[in-house]
Structure 1
Amino acid sequence: MCCILHTQAAADSHVSYRYLTGDKNRLGLFECKCFMTSMSSGDAVLTVRLVRSFEHRNFQPVVFHNVDLHQSVREFITFVRKDVSTRVGLPPPFKKFGYDTMKIIHQAHGAKTNELVMSLEEDEKLLLKEDLSLKAAGVAHETELAFFRNEDYQKFKSNPKTSW
């Protein structure tokens, strides 16, 4: 038998857990404090969905660890472009594509869209503005972003037909 009891999150950014272990003859209670240092410094894990074709639903997810949420969207776009062009294991068509726009697809513990590639709604809220920081644009830890060519997106949005 093992049970974890979450007790509290304190102001000094730590969480206390109590572990109750044992069986009916002997029980032990252990307490530990887990410090959350990486999340408080602005580091996050982001998934970027590289969208090559909305019509054919052709995309490839790429995970980025230790992303500084205080950097600008423009800096992050430049970083992702550079990383994607040299990433091992990514098919060549994804490496050479002209991505230019990012949009929030999903945030951790939030509702997901029924669209297979990404939602076509709420562009004014979910499209990332390049002059803002990632955090100010609404990006948080475990956010999923779409990276695509805006021209293709606008064309698909005006006539949302899929080929398969």
Structure 2
Amino acid sequence: MDVLTNVARPKTSATLTVRIIKSFKFRTERSLVLHNVDLTTTTVAQLKDIAHKAILDKSGWKPYRNVLLDTLKLYTNAHGAKTSNLIINLDHDDWILNNNDAILADLGFENETEISFFNSQDYEDFKLNPETSWDY
């Protein structure tokens, strides 16, 4: 029997994908893959810090360094349904991770969970007018 990827690795060594969103309107995002995250001890605040540090330290992230990233929201768990919106799921505001002290495993995080990291005000503005622009 094949092992599903969400349980193939222990919760103490999970791989997470953080979708760093620069612009909702222009659908500008880049995925940050984090390996060996201990979901049983890592908090929401620590995950934000890990992502911020990676953006500052890793090459290729310069365009994202001036974005105020303050909010995490669950995008999908491995093998879960994905939204039809390519930039973020606009439904399920209850998936916004408001409690910085919450442990990721207690929030249902598993190996290969995807999370969106974005500016909360930009998100609220986009929800009011969820149109995208494309410059060719």
The TM-score normalised by the length of structure 2 is 0.86
Q: Residue in 2 aligned with 1:104?
A: 74
**Which is greater in Rg?**
1
Check the 8 A contact 1:102/1:146 in 2, yes or no: yes
Which has the larger share of helix? 2
Aligned-residue CA RMSD (Å): 2.0
Q: Measure how far apart 1:95 and its partner are.
A: 2.4
What's 2:15 paired with? 45
Would you identify which runs of 4 or more consecutive aligned residues in structure 1 move more than 6 Å? none
Specify the SS of the correspondent of 1:61. Answer: strand
Q: For this pair of structures, how many residues does the alignment match? A: 129
Counting only pairs closer than 5 Å after superposition, residues 53-132 of structure 1 correspond to structure 2 as 53-69=23-39, 70-90=41-61, 92-124=62-94, 126-128=95-97, 129-132=99-102
Deviations along 1:43-71, whole A, 9 cap, x unmatched?
10001111011011011111010011121
Alpha-carbon separation, structure 1, partners of 2:66 and 2:13: 28
CA drift of 1:150 comes to 0.4
Shift of 1:122: 0.7
Quick check: 1:47–1:144 contact (8 Å CA) kept in 2?
A: yes
CA distance in 2, matches of 1:41, 1:137: 12
Query: 1:132 Cα shift?
Result: 0.5
Taking structure 1 as the reference length, the TM-score comes to 0.72
Q: For residue 109 of structure 2, what is the aligned residue in structure 1? A: 139
Is the strand fraction higher in 1 or 2?
1
1:138 deviates by: 2.2
3-state SS of paired residue (1:76): helix
SS at structure 2 position matched to 1:40: coil
Identical pairs, percent: 37
Please, which runs of 5 or more residues in structure 1 have no aligned partner?
1-5, 10-35
Shift of 1:41: 5.2
